[in-house]
Structure 1
Amino acid sequence: MKKNRYLLCLLLVAFMLYFAVPRLSIHATGAEGIFSIAWLAFALMVIAGNLTGLLYSPKKHRQRPQFQNKKTKSRSFLRE
């Protein structure tokens, strides 16, 4: 379930980058340039975090059906 969320977030970030990168001006001076660099840095952090979560999440192991080993005593002492 979490892998679907990570994949969805990656797709949304890619979609936002597709529209934002042509409009961002990295070489601009002042607040516009700082905003562009900060926005791209945050987008790269989101990509890195989601890729880390997607690639390094713990794997689910299928449990094999195990036979229940009931230990029975070799000798039973009955009180009569």
Structure 2
Amino acid sequence: MRLRLLISLGIVFFLLWHAIEQFSLQAEGLAGIFASVWFVFALLVVGGNLSALLHERHKKKNGAVETRTILESRRKGDQTHGRLRA
């Protein structure tokens, strides 16, 4: 998961680097609105990926168990109980 987040951040920064050359935030009309909205969405992507990286680091630090692991153990428990009852 961490590698995917780092790759996503790298792609976003690469796109931002190219977009700064192409878009002008000072342009008027539709071009300026498009550039502004594009940069806002790009910054949201950066913020979301950074948040996910920090959340993952926090989970590892506190030894939290993933929800998926809990749900899988419950399913296995339900299956064994069903077999014992039958």
TM-score (normalizing by structure 2) = 0.66
Distance 1:23 1:33 in 2: 12
Unaligned runs of 5+ in 2: 64-86
How many residues are treated as equivalent by the alignment? 60
Equivalent residues in 2 for 1:1-80, closer than 5 Å: 2-57=1-56, 58-59=59-60, 61=63
Structure with the bigger percentage of helix: 2
- Distance in structure 1 (CA, Å) of the matches to 2:54 and 2:10: 15
Counterpart CA distance in 1 for 2:6 and 2:52 is: 10
The runs of 4+ residues in structure 1 deviating greater than 6 Å are none
How far apart are the structure 2 equivalents of 1:55 and 1:33?
33
Q: Deviations over 1:26-52 (max 9, x none)?
A: 011110000000000000000000000
Overall identity of the aligned pairs, in %: 42
What secondary structure sits across from 2:39 in the alignment?
helix
Q: What secondary structure is seen at the aligned counterpart in 2 of 1:26?
A: coil
Segments of structure 1 that go 5 or more residues without pairing to the other structure are: 62-80
Which structure has the larger Rg over C-alpha atoms? 1
Tell me which of the two structures has the higher relative contact order, counting C-alpha pairs closer than 8 angstroms and 6 or more residues apart: 1
CA–CA distance in 2 between the matches of 1:47 and 1:4?
Answer: 15
- Structure 1 counterpart of 2:81: none
